[in-house]
Amino acid sequence: MSGDSRKLHPSVLIIGAPGAGKGTQGKVLGTVPRFFHCACGDVFRSLDTRTELGQQFVEFSSKGELVPDEITIGLWKAQIDNWIETYHYKPDIDILILDGIPRNEHQAKILEDYLEVHQVIHLTCPDREELARRMRKRALKDNRYDDASDEVIAHRIDTYVEETRPLIDHYEGKVSEIDATKQPVEVLADVIAEIVKLDVYREMAKVVA
């Protein structure tokens, strides 16, 4: 592990129901210098499904359930360390944009050892049917089998409500509510407006890399 990775990583979390647009927003931000996007679901999907870890991911995600916390954090940490060692993610100058992790309070507590959370972007979309519509569309486009069946979609949304949404209270005082039902580009404008207000952003922006 490099020296940098031992410090708390400056982070912004994107929290929202499946289909709210976390990945869409996170991906765009990740293309901007001084930001690094990590989508936990993408880390899982990049696993070889012939491996034990890959099989565990398929087992849980195909039912719309969360992968157990220890497995998740272990994989996430290994991937972050790998990105640091290969100079993709530079924690001394990049703000880490986390999408899909933490997914519950236990994960949030474990991550306190690694992250300094500066802001939580809560993408709100109270309409379950709209979330389901977006997931069905994504299933066709991106070959996401966990978004393909109505039963799994419903369970994914329930899992979010029961396990992930309580994080909004957990991070009270750091949460920006953003209406995710707007057009993606308008949501992006709102997300960026929140991020550029942050002291950590202003500090990082001064660094010439």
Interface with ligand AMP by CB under 6 A: which residues?
18, 40-41, 44, 60-61, 65-67, 72, 100-101, 103, 107, 146, 156
Q: Nearest approach, Cβ of 144 to ligand AMP (angstroms)? A: 8
Residue placing its CB nearer to ligand AMP in the complex, 84 or 108 = 108
Q: Nearest approach, Cβ of 199 to ligand AMP (angstroms)? A: 27
Q: Nearest approach, Cβ of 75 to ligand AMP (angstroms)? A: 9
Q: Nearest approach, Cβ of 103 to ligand AMP (angstroms)? A: 4
Distances (CA, A) of 180 to 10, 144, 165, 209: 24, 21, 15, 33
Q: How many residues does the chain have?
A: 209
Cβ burial of 63 (10 Å; 0-12, 13-18, 19+) is: middle
Distances (CA, A) of 1 to 83, 91, 108: 11, 12, 22
Residue placing its CB nearer to ligand AMP in the complex, 131 or 191 = 131
| Residue reference for tokens 């990945």 | 23
Residue placing its CB nearer to ligand AMP in the complex, 94 or 146 = 146
Residue placing its CB nearer to ligand AMP in the complex, 60 or 171 = 60
Q: Nearest approach, Cβ of 203 to ligand AMP (angstroms)? A: 28
Residue placing its CB nearer to ligand AMP in the complex, 38 or 204 = 38
User: What DSSP string describes 86-106?
Assistant: TTSS-TTT-EEEEES---SHH
Q: Nearest approach, Cβ of 41 to ligand AMP (angstroms)? A: 2
Residue placing its CB nearer to ligand AMP in the complex, 138 or 201 = 138
Nearest residue to ligand AMP on Cβ basis = 41
Quickly list H helices, the chain: 22-30, 40-45, 52-61, 69-85, 105-111, 128-142, 150-159, 167-170, 184-195, 199-206
Query: Is the Cβ–Cβ distance between 125 and 41 less than 8 Å?
Result: no
**In sequence order, which residues have a C-beta less than 8 Å from that of residue 118 and are 6 or more positions away?**
10, 11, 12, 95, 174, 198, 199, 200
